[in-house]
Amino acid sequence: MDTQEFINRLITELDLQPLAFEGGLYVQTYKSNEAVPQAALPERYHSPRSFGTAILYLLTDHPDSFSAMHRLLTDEVYHFYLGDPVEMLLLYPDGNSQQVLLGQDIMAGQKVQFVAPAGVWQGSHLLPGGEYALIGTTMAPGFEYEDFTNGARAVLLNAYPSAHELICQLTRTGQA
C-alpha cells in the first residue's frame, strides 16, 4: 500500500472530518458525560465544561493542511502517534516564541507528548518533505468552540515580528 492509500484508509477507518477554522482532519474520540459547574471553574470560562475531551488529528502534505494559529482557554496536551515530524509554533503573551518538534525521534529532541499552555497562540504543520502525521490531543476541562480564538495574521505579525515566516505559514489570508 502506498502512502496516499494509507492516508485515505486512515481517514476512512477513523472517520476523520475537516476541522473548521483550524484546518487538518479530526474526530472527537472522547467527551466526558460529566461536567464541571461554571462556579467551580476559573473566571475565564462562562459556562460549565465537560471533565475532559480527546481528539485524533491528521495533518497531510496538502498545502492547506496545517493547524492555523489559535489559542484556547485550557492547556492542550499533544500526543504524537505516527507519521512524519510536526513543527509547532507557540507565541507567548510576554512576546517570546518557541518552536517544538513533535515526532518519534526522541533522541533528536522530538516530543511524543507536549503541553501547549492555555492562552498561548499555537499552530503546527508538517516539516517540509513530510507526508502525514497522526496526533491526538486531550483537554481538561473539555474543549468547547467558544474557548477557541483564531489568530489574525496582521495582529500576530505586529506582536511577534521575529516569527514572521512561521506566522505567515500558519495563518490563512483573509482570516480576521
pLDDT score for 89: 98
Q: What is the pLDDT of residues 56-79, one digit of tens each?
A: 999 999 988 999 999 999 999 999
Question: What cell was used for 152?
Answer: 489574525
Q: What is the pLDDT of residues 5-57, one digit of tens each?
A: 999 999 999 999 999 889 999 999 999 999 999 999 999 999 999 999 999 99
Cα dist from 118 to 33, 53, 93, 139, 155, whole Å: 23, 15, 11, 10, 19
* Summary mean pLDDT of the chain: 95
- The values of phi and psi at residue 162, to 5°, are -70, -15
For the cut 70, the answer to whether the pLDDT of residue 175 exceeds it is no
pLDDT score for 129: 95
Q: What is the pLDDT of residues 95-123, one digit of tens each?
A: 999 999 999 999 999 999 999 999 999 99
Segment 123-149 mean pLDDT = 96
Percent of the chain predicted with pLDDT > 70: 98
**Contact (CB, 8 A) for 22 and 68:** yes
For the chain, which residues make up each domain, given as ranges? 3-34+50-169
Per-residue confidence band for 174, with pLDDT thresholds at 50, 70 and 90: low
**Contact (CB, 8 A) for 25 and 64:** no
Domain 3-34+50-169: give its CATH superfamily: Jelly Rolls (2.60.120.10)
User: CA-CA distance, 54 to 27, in Å (whole number)?
Assistant: 9
User: CA-CA distance, 164 to 77, in Å (whole number)?
Assistant: 25
Question: What cell was used for 7?
Answer: 492516508
